[in-house]
Homo-oligomer: A and B are copies of this chain.
Amino acid sequence: MAGLSGLRSIMEDVAASTADTSAEEWLNLSIGNPAAIPAAGAMWREALTRALEEDFDAVCGRYGPSRGSAGLIEAVNAYFHRAYGWDLGPENVVVGPGSQMVCFAAAALFCGPEPDGAHRRLVLPMVPDYTGYQGLCMHEDGIVGVAPQIVEDGEHGFRYALDLDALARLDDIGMLLISTPGNPTGRAMDRAELDGLIAFAEARDIPLVIDHAYGAPFPRIGEVPVEPVRHPHVVNCFSASKAGMPGERVGFAIGDPRYVGAIAAFLSNSVLHAAQLPQAALATTLREGTLDEVTRDAITPYYRGKRELMDALLMEQLPPDIAWRSHSGAGGMFAWVWIDHAWFDDVELYRRLKEKRVFVVPGRHFFVDATTTALPRGHATRCFRMSLSAPEKTLIDGVSRVAETLEEMRAEAN
């Protein structure tokens, strides 16, 4: 969990630095919050208000089922039937207080020490991936990240590709977990990668947990080359967070009862159930189609615009004679930039930018263990993440200071 604790220190540093100052004094490109998109905010606020007005005693005044409220489960099943033709029963769904808690439950259930002395590990099939996954494992050395292949693309692009051969060399796997489109890179699995992972999960008889927090069918932050698929070994996780309601903590998983039922039992022992108001609100937006509308008309276009802006800024501002590349995943909420020079170090960039009142996130924390990640030329310490949810002016001024800082780092190294 070195990556995680490192990131925590940074997030505490950001919070402490910006706490007593006007937000405008800092250019904060480190944020993980979704942007405040007015149409999304209006949708959630209206749905929450209706839930509160309609039947307070039945919603807020009673404990709910640990699997999720009957209304939300029905709405989920009808929605996925319409969207993908899936035939789901209540036994295929579990609602949690955010999909992170659902993943935590899965890792607690399917990974860890076995009675026979074996230790089943949580495996991230392609790092870099969401740092929060590194905290899901309560045991020492319980998590492994598989280094990707790096595919260069033109002069300033690149992408990561799944290394199935490296994955196949691992033993003692309890569960696979991957976000698609992913944090921090925006890379999204293509059909061949998804099929490869599913075949592997099936061969090993382990669950493949796929986190669609940024993906399909909502909030579609970026292009999604493959829609979610149903398979006995796949647990698909969905969340209302990146669609604009992270604060109320509601997400859900769809999968076979073998996995989903165990997760529901775990939730009933721990958190009891997700808050009822956001469950009711999510049910409304699924049932009435407003979540689809807002996704199509507001969320997807918003992030597409921000990504185009970011791509243009990088091309304009970064020194052309520096070997920089940005990850060309068309999805996700972040830009992921790789500076392929020996004089570059992600933590040093962070330190220098902080002096200029800019925050970015050093890339190493997303690799589980950057020091041992099998990537050429110190790749895992040569990347950084910038958030597309920041306001336009923050992106413009922030990238300009990043460019300035890169010039300085290069000059000092020569």
List A residues at the B interface (Cβ < 8 Å): 4, 8, 15, 32-34, 36, 41, 44-45, 48-49, 52, 56-57, 59-65, 97-98, 100-101, 104, 108, 132, 135-136, 138, 241, 244-249, 268-278
Please determine whether B45 and A56 come into contact, CB atoms closer than 8 angstroms.
yes
**Interchain CB contact (< 8 A) of A62 among B33, B45, B63, B100:** B33
Bound form: Cα–Cα A98–B61 in Å:
14
B100 touches A61 (CB 8 A): no
The answer to whether A249 touches B278 (Cβ under 8 A) is: no
Contact: B60 with A272, CB < 8 Å?
A: no
Question: Which of B36, B61, B108, B249 is A245 in contact with, Cβ under 8 Å?
Answer: B61
Q: In whole angstroms, what is the CA distance A65 to B34 when docked?
A: 15
Q: In the bound complex, do residue A104 and residue B44 qualify as a contact, i.e. CB atoms below 8 Å apart?
A: no
CB–CB A60/B101 < 8 A:
no
Pairwise interchain contact B271-A104, C-beta atoms closer than 8 A:
yes
Given A100-B272, A270-B104, A271-B249, answer yes or no on A36-B60 (Cβ-Cβ < 8 Å): no
Give, as a whole number of angstroms, the nearest-CB distance from A139 to chain B: 10
Shortest CB-to-CB span from A95 to chain B, Å, is 12
Contact between A44 and B60 (Cβ–Cβ < 8 Å)?
A: yes
Q: Which residues of B contact A270 (CB under 8 A)?
A: 100-101, 104, 135-136, 270
B61 engages A247 (CB within 8 Å): yes
Residue of B nearest to A276 (CB): B247
Is the beta-carbon distance between A272 and B245 smaller than 8 angstroms?
no
B272 contacts A248, C-beta separation under 8 Å: no
- The answer to whether A269 touches B136 (Cβ under 8 A) is yes
Q: Say how far A11's CB is from chain B's closest CB, in angstroms.
A: 10
Q: Given A59-B247, A97-B275, A248-B275, A268 and B104 touching (CB < 8 A)?
A: no
What is the count of identical protomers in the complex?
Answer: 2
Determine which residue in A60, A63, A138 has the highest number of CB atoms from chain B within 10 A of its CB, and name it. A60
| Complex CA–CA separation, A248 to B15 (angstroms) | 27
Residues of B close to A45: CB separation below 8 A? 52, 56, 60
A271 & B101 in contact (Cβ 8 Å cutoff): yes
Contact B275 A60 (CB under 8 A): no
6 nearest CB pairs, A to B: A135-B269, A247-B276, A275-B275, A104-B270, A60-B247, A101-B271
List of B residues within 8 angstroms of A8 by Cβ? 268
Task: Name the B residues within 8 Å of A98 (CB-CB).
Answer: 271-272
Given contacts A247-B276, A276-B247, contact A135 B62 (CB under 8 A): no
CB distance from A7 to the nearest CB of B (A): 11
- Bound-state CA distance A244–B63 (Å) is 10
Please measure, in the bound complex, the distance between the C-alpha atom of A97 and the C-alpha atom of B100, giving whole angstroms.
14
29 intermolecular pairs with C-beta atoms under 8 Å apart: A4-B269, A8-B268, A33-B61, A33-B62, A34-B61, A36-B57, A41-B60, A45-B52, A45-B56, A48-B52, A48-B60, A48-B277, A59-B247, A60-B246, A61-B245, A61-B246, A97-B97, A97-B249, A97-B271, A101-B270, A104-B270, A132-B272, A135-B268, A135-B270, A247-B275, A249-B273, A270-B270, A271-B271, A275-B278
Specify which chain B residues have a CB less than 8 angstroms from the CB of A278 in the assembled complex: 275, 277
Chain B hits for A44, CB < 8 A: 56, 60-61
Shortest distance from the beta carbon of A396 to any chain B beta carbon, whole Å: 22
Expressed in whole angstroms, the Cα–Cα distance for A249 and B246 within the complex equals: 16
Q: How far is the CB of A20 from chain B (nearest CB, A)?
A: 12
Kindly report which residue of chain B lies nearest to residue A244, judged by CB atoms: B61
